[in-house]
């Protein structure tokens, strides 16, 4: 897992060309004024722009075929994060949606993420996004799915 400001995204460009392309898409679009929806970036990269109210709780999730860049356009939230090996499956992996739902088997740890910041979640990172900080608030976030 990586947590940083979008201003430092270039630091991570050398990890992969797809990751660089995902960050460039975030930086080169007016996400605050774009409508929610799915945006195709390339053959192996797409983005889901979404607006929602943070939640009291949610399951952990894991992905196998994509890296997530989760960038907060407006608002703030908490995300639980742990190594996949600390979890057990609650809903089997769905290959078509590249998602498996999980339960964390250790004490949970949460990270706060605010406007202008991003997480990069790799396939070994189980994560629990969109959790409220003190009260439920509106968030606009883009999740760029980067093929591995």
HSE (CB half, 13 Å, CA atoms) of 30? Answer: 2
CATH number at residue 49: 2.60.120.370
What stretches in the chain show pLDDT beneath 70? Answer: none
Specify whether the CB–CB gap between 100 and 93 falls below 8 A. Answer: yes
Residue range 49-59, pLDDT digits in tens? 999 999 999 99
- Give the tokens for residue 28: 């080169």
Asked if 25 and 47 touch (Cβ cutoff 8 Å), the reply is yes
Torsion angle of alpha carbons 114, 116, 117, 120, nearest 10°? 130
Number of compact structural domains in the chain: 1
Which tens digit of pLDDT belongs to each residue from 111-143? 999 999 999 999 999 999 999 999 999 999 999
pTM of the model: 0.96
Tell me the residue range of the domain where 105 lies.
2-147
């Amino acid at each position: 897992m990586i947590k940083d400001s979008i201003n430092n995204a270039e630091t991570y460009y050398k990890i992969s060309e797809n990751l660089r392309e995902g960050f460039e898409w975030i930086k080169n679009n007016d996400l605050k004024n774009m409508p929610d929806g799915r945006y195709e970036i390339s053959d192996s990269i797409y983005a889901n722009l979404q607006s929602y109210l943070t939640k009291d709780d949610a399951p952990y999730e894991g992905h196998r075929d994509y890296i997530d860049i989760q960038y907060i356009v407006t608002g703030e939230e908490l995300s639980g994060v742990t190594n996949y090996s600390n979890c057990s499956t609650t809903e089997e992996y769905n290959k078509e949606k590249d998602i498996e739902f999980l339960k964390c088997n250790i004490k949970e740890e949460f990270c706060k993420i605010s406007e202008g910041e991003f997480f990069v979640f790799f396939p070994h990172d189980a994560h629990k996004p969109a959790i409220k900080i003190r009260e439920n608030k509106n968030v606009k976030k883009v999740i760029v799915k980067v093929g591995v």
